[in-house]
Amino acid sequence: MVVRLAVAWATVAAFAVFGGGWLGGLDAPLVAAGLFVWLFSVILWSAFGVVHEAEELADRLGEPYGTLILTLSIVVIEVALVAAVMLGAKAAPTLGRDTMFAVIMIVMNGLVGVGLILGGLRHHRQNYNLDGAGAYLAAIIPLTTIALIIPNFTTSTPDGSLTAFQAVAFSVLTVVLYGIFLLLQTGRHSDFFTDFVKPGAVAPEAAIAHPDAGRGAILRHAGLLLVSLLPIVLLSKSLAAILDHGIKALGAPSALGGVIIAAIVFTPEGISAIKAIRRDQLQRAINLCLGAVTSTVGLTVPAVLAIGLISGQRVVLGLAPAEMAVLAMTLLLSVITFSRQGTTVLEGAVHLVVFLTYLTLIFSP
């Protein structure tokens, strides 16, 4: 951890002093590639640090608070990266949409698909708390529909963007819905997001034998989480400039930027979810995956729309017709997958096929 923090903060200092000159030389391919690999590696390594500290907090706080802290930390990283690109020299009206859609596809199809296949091969059939999965999907379906589908069918704008009134109204609605979900998750229905305690098993709260020492450990890990998170936010603007320049220079699809940001943000959390599945902790993996999608849409939509309103940029949220079909298929498939107790390899294979379909459409829309 010490080495990771030292490297991250040294990189922050280096870019604070020399970053202007380095970013001015992006026309040289080797310079651009070297800077991208450097920043990508440091940010990804720091993200692993954030996940590690969040997992330490999860062990002490229990579910659902542990995974909630992790998903909120990851969303902060995502919003910082998206905001850095949007506020850069080149306008990116579809970046927020592309990033949110990439997160949904990577998590709900790619990660869920691989996880269920690995879990099914190792444990044959895995069980989880059906109420929790249902609560996640009850929030995800309206959040994604409001954010990514409805803008295509409004008559005030013709291009999937929103009027100022619609942007404010949709932001308020998504924040309110996400807030209600958080109250349910952390309040009277927190048991929806935990495994059923078997007879004779020890409840997670019993793991902390000395409350004072437990509070000290919680504060220490919370502090380490913050100092691991801050370099990512500070370096996001430089990475965004390189990413924007590289996509333009290579003539790559603009949606690729959202995929790269989503991959940076969710790789550590994805590895954590896969580890949980291999340990037969499917409920924790579901909390990580579906919680990440819920937090991403619930918090990224108002953040992106607020940036657009403040900066005067046009923000396009509506998906293309083929992407709407893939999203609808993903939501329907997720309802089927998580509507019955237990999962098998079959569900994982189907989700993975949908994810590969999404990747195909990026390069051949």
Over residues 107-124, the mean pLDDT reads: 82
Q: Side-chain half-sphere of 44: how many Cα atoms within 13 Å? A: 16
Over residues 213-239, the mean pLDDT reads: 80
Record the tokens describing residue 150, joined without a space: 């409805």
Say how far apart CA 198 and CA 213 lie, in whole Å: 28
Q: Which of 2-6, 31-35, 165-169, 268-272 has the highest mean pLDDT?
A: 165-169
Higher pLDDT, 271 or 108: 108
Q: Which domain holds residue 58?
A: 2-363
Q: What is the number of other CB atoms lying within 10 angstroms of the CB of residue 294?
A: 25
What is the count of structural domains for the chain? 1
Is 124:343 a contact under the CB 8 Å cutoff?
no
Higher pLDDT, 1 or 181: 181
**Is 60 exceeded by the pLDDT of residue 196?**
no
For residue 254, the domain's CATH number is 1.20.1420.30
Task: Give residue-wise pLDDT tens across range 301-357.
Answer: 898 899 888 888 888 999 999 999 999 999 999 998 888 766 677 888 999 999 999
Task: Give residue-wise pLDDT tens across range 61-105.
Answer: 766 676 677 777 777 877 877 777 777 656 678 888 888 899 899
Is 305:315 a contact under the CB 8 Å cutoff?
yes
The 3-state DSSP class for residue 316 equals strand
Task: Give residue-wise pLDDT tens across range 18-51.
Answer: 888 888 888 888 888 888 899 888 888 888 887 7
**Is 90 exceeded by the pLDDT of residue 213?**
no
Q: What percent of the chain has pLDDT over 70?
A: 88
Is 287:193 a contact under the CB 8 Å cutoff?
yes
**Is 70 exceeded by the pLDDT of residue 118?**
yes
pTM above 0.85, yes or no: no
Say how far apart CA 108 and CA 102 lie, in whole Å: 10
- State the DSSP H helix or E strand holding residue 109, giving kind and residue range, or none if neither: none
Which burial class, exposed, middle or buried, applies to 185 when counting CB atoms under 10 A from its CB (0-12, 13-18, 19+)?
Answer: buried
